[in-house]
């Protein structure tokens, strides 16, 4: 196991009706003038936004509203939010929605207290200061409710890039699984896929002897395999939604990623797809992961075989471990298809003729020097072959 730091100071309020504590939690973490950020309207239609407003009003906390965050959130709304915070002397940002809303809120919170362009953070500058952030999560997926990360797409060039820093870890996150019951089945499945990807990106490691985190990751994967089909079958199943929601947080606050090298090639390869085609991140990952894993599995057949046996219930073929490894990747692919995810470029809305563009922005955009690194270092030729496997 490698040396590591682990810092995860977010306060989690989990369970039914906890959104009614938004006001008291905002006060507890120092908010007196709040920017409420939300997406395309699901929180208006569900009545959640009204309940959050009432909770703030009960505590005498003033607020201004910023709606309209799109999935794969864009820079334009971030600039707008920064200006609004300055004009209104906002001291706390409250995200009500999914990963896109939370990520836009994090970008705004960091941008308000920074003299330069907030995009600097998405070009490698660490985030050291930000307004405090709270979240009320409505979809189990990105894990942004417990992570120090934010992913934004810049409209100038449609570059989708991530920024990171402990300053943008939420002060509190409210997780009420019942709020996810209004999700369309497709979005629920996208979320499950993203959580699965966050687990695989950590499982694929070059660090040896990491039994505790291996076992934690496997437990969370098994939870998704059990609960995923149950929630697709019965969207009102609160207990299944509760397990998926906490798995989503655990998968990405890095408690099961510490002390080990991690991959993130699937995410980087997918981000080019959701930037160019505006597809859902989870849907893009469903097509990306099996292709990447097929391409890189020779690098460490036994790691893939271990996942196949422990997570997917495959029989270990000691004479041909590569057969076991590939069976595990096939089981993952079939699971994702079974919950309604796309399986190839055509179903995703991606085009084969765009592969040279995708490879170029992936490997050379934002100062990358012709390759991406993770479990395996992949150059332009490798990435081109991986995108071809998705066609």
Contact (Cβ atoms closer than 8 angstroms) between residue 136 and residue 93: no
**Smallest distance from the beta carbon of 31 to Zn ion, in angstroms?**
28
Q: Site map for ligand NZQ, 53-72, x if CB under 6 A? A: ------------------xx
Contact (Cβ atoms closer than 8 angstroms) between residue 97 and residue 77: no
Total interface residues for ligand NZQ by CB under 6 A: 35
The residue range among 88-96, 193-201, 309-317, 351-359 that interacts with Zn ion, by the rule CB under 5 A, is 193-201
Cβ proximity to ligand NZQ, 132 vs 143, nearer residue = 143
81, 132, 134, 143: which one binds ligand NZQ (CB under 6 A): 143
161, 171, 281, 326: which one binds ligand NZQ (CB under 6 A): 281
DSSP E strands, 155-208: 159-164, 172-175
194 binds Zn ion (CB under 5 A): yes
Contact (Cβ atoms closer than 8 angstroms) between residue 65 and residue 122: no
149 binds ligand NZQ (CB under 6 A): yes
177 binds ligand NZQ (CB under 6 A): no
263 binds Zn ion (CB under 5 A): no
**Smallest distance from the beta carbon of 53 to Zn ion, in angstroms?**
30
For 294-318, give the secondary structure using H, E and C.
Answer: HHHHHHHHHHHHHHHHHCCCCCCCC
26, 55, 135, 150: which one binds ligand NZQ (CB under 6 A): 150
β-sheet with 133-137: strand ranges across: 11-14, 172-175, 133-137, 92-97, 33-38, 62-66
CA-atom Rg of the chain in angstroms = 20
191, 228, 342, 374: which one binds ligand NZQ (CB under 6 A): 191
329 binds ligand NZQ (CB under 6 A): no
Cβ proximity to ligand NZQ, 96 vs 309, nearer residue = 96
CA distance 386 to 389: 5
23, 31, 99, 328: which one binds ligand NZQ (CB under 6 A): 99
CA distance 345 to 390: 6
Q: Site map for ligand NZQ, 197-236, x if CB under 6 A? A: ----------------------------------------
Q: Give the three-class secondary structure for 65.
A: strand
Q: Please, which of residues 245-274 interact with ligand NZQ by CB under 6 A?
A: 252, 267
In our burial notation (b when 16+ CB lie closer than 10 A, e otherwise), range 173-182 reads bbbbbbbbbe
In our burial notation (b when 16+ CB lie closer than 10 A, e otherwise), range 227-241 reads bbeebbeebebbebb
Q: Give the strand pairing for 92-97 and 133-137.
A: parallel
CB-based contacts of 261, cutoff 8 Å, min separation 6:
2, 205, 206, 207, 375
**Smallest distance from the beta carbon of 145 to ligand NZQ, in angstroms?**
9
**Smallest distance from the beta carbon of 67 to ligand NZQ, in angstroms?**
9
Cβ proximity to ligand NZQ, 74 vs 303, nearer residue = 74
The residue range among 39-47, 125-133, 327-335, 377-385 that interacts with ligand NZQ, by the rule CB under 6 A, is 39-47
The H or E element spanning position 289 is helix 281-296
144 binds ligand NZQ (CB under 6 A): yes
Four-CA torsion 258, 263, 264, 265, nearest 10 degrees: 180
Which of the listed partners (Zn ion, ligand NZQ, none) does 103 bind, with a CB threshold of 5 to 8 Å by partner kind?
Answer: ligand NZQ
Contact (Cβ atoms closer than 8 angstroms) between residue 143 and residue 202: no
CA distance 113 to 98: 24
What single-letter DSSP state applies at residue 115? S
Cβ proximity to ligand NZQ, 191 vs 374, nearer residue = 191
81 binds ligand NZQ (CB under 6 A): no
Cβ proximity to Zn ion, 153 vs 324, nearer residue = 153
Which of the listed partners (Zn ion, ligand NZQ, none) does 98 bind, with a CB threshold of 5 to 8 Å by partner kind?
Answer: ligand NZQ
Binding positions for ligand NZQ, rule: CB under 6 A: 39-43, 71-72, 97-101, 103, 138-139, 141-144, 147, 149-151, 179-180, 182-183, 187, 190-191, 194, 252, 267, 281-282
Binding positions for Zn ion, rule: CB under 5 A: 194
């Amino acid at each position: 196991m490698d040396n590591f730091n682990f810092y995860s100071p977010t306060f989690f309020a989990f369970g039914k009706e906890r959104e009614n504590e938004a006001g008291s939690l905002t006060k507890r973490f120092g908010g007196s003038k709040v920017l409420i950020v939300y997406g395309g309207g699901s929180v208006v239609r569900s009545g959640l936004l009204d309940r959050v407003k009432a909770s703030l009003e009960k505590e005498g906390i003033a607020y201004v509203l910023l709606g309209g965050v799109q999935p794969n959130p864009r820079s334009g709304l971030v600039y707008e939010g920064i200006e609004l915070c300055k004009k209104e002397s906002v001291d706390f940002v409250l995200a009500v929605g999914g990963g896109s809303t939370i990520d836009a809120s994090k970008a705004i919170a960091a941008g308000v207290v920074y003299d330069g362009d907030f995009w600097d953070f998405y070009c490698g500058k660490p985030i050291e200061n930000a307004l405090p952030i709270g979240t009320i999560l409505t979809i189990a997926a990105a894990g942004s409710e417990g992570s120090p990360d934010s992913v934004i797409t810049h409209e100038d060039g449609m570059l989708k890039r991530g920024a990171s820093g402990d300053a943008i870890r939420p002060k509190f996150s409210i997780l009420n699984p019942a709020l996810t019951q209004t999700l369309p089945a497709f979005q629920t499945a996208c979320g499950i896929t993203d959580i699965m990807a966050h687990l695989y990106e950590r499982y694929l490691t070059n660090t040896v002897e990491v039994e505790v985190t291996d076992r934690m990751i496997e437990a969370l994967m098994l939870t998704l395999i059990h609960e995923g089909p149950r929630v697709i079958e019965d969207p009102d199943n609160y207990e299944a939604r509760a397990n998926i929601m906490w798995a989503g947080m655990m998968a990405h606050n890095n408690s099961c990623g510490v002390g080990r090298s991690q991959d993130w090639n699937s995410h980087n390869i997918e981000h080019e797809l959701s930037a160019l085609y505006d597809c859902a991140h989870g849907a893009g990952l469903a097509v990306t992961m099996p292709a990447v894993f097929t391409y890189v599995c020779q690098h460490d057949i036994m790691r893939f075989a271990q996942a196949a046996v422990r997570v997917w219930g495959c029989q270990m073929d000691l004479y041909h471990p590569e057969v076991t490894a590939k069976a595990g990747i096939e089981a993952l692919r079939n699971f994702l298809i079974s919950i309604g995810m796309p399986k190839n470029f055509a179903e995703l809305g991606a085009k084969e003729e765009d592969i040279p563009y995708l490879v170029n922005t992936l490997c050379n955009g934002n100062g990358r020097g012709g390759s991406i690194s993770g479990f395996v270092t992949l150059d332009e030729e490798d990435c081109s072959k991986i995108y071809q496997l998705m066609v």
